[in-house]
Amino acid sequence: MSDDDASYLSARGAETLLLVHIQPRAAKSGFSGVFGQRLKIRISSPPVEGEANRECIAFLAGFLGVSKSEIRLLKGGQSRDKTFVISRPIEFVREKLKRIDPGN
C-alpha cells in the first residue's frame, strides 16, 4: 500500500481517523479492498444491536495490536460507512496497514 492509496486515513492530532465500509454477515472477517474512499472490512456478525460494530473494533484492535479501548466509533453506528478514531499516530496505523493489500 502506498501512502497515496490511504485516502481512508487522516490524522487528528495524535490520533488517527479511519474511514471504513462494513460488509456484515460475511463468511469470515477480514479486509476486502477499498470501497470508494473507505477501507472495506468483512465482518461475520450481523448488523444487530451493535454486534457488527463491536466485532469490527475487536478485529481492528487485533490486527493493529492495540487494545479495544484505543479504538472508538465516531460516526456511523447504524450505517455501513463508519469512522473510527484510533488513539495512535497516523504513522503507526499506516505502518500496520502496509501488511494488507487493499486492492484484493
Position 100 scores a pLDDT of 81
Position 103 scores a pLDDT of 46
Residue indicated by cell numbers 470508494: 36
Predicted model pTM: 0.89
Domain boundaries, the chain: 3-97
Q: Are strands 15-23 and 38-42 parallel, antiparallel or unpaired?
A: parallel
Measured CA to CA, the distance from residue 103 to residue 11 in angstroms comes to 22
Position 3 scores a pLDDT of 43
List, run by run, the mean pLDDT of 10-residue segments along the chain (104 residues).
69 96 94 93 92 95 97 95 97 92 49
H-type alpha helices, the chain: 51-64, 90-97
Written out in words, the top-level CATH class of the domain with range 3-97 is alpha beta
Position 5 scores a pLDDT of 58
Q: Are strands 71-75 and 81-86 parallel, antiparallel or unpaired?
A: antiparallel
The alpha-carbon radius of gyration of the chain (Å, integer) is 12
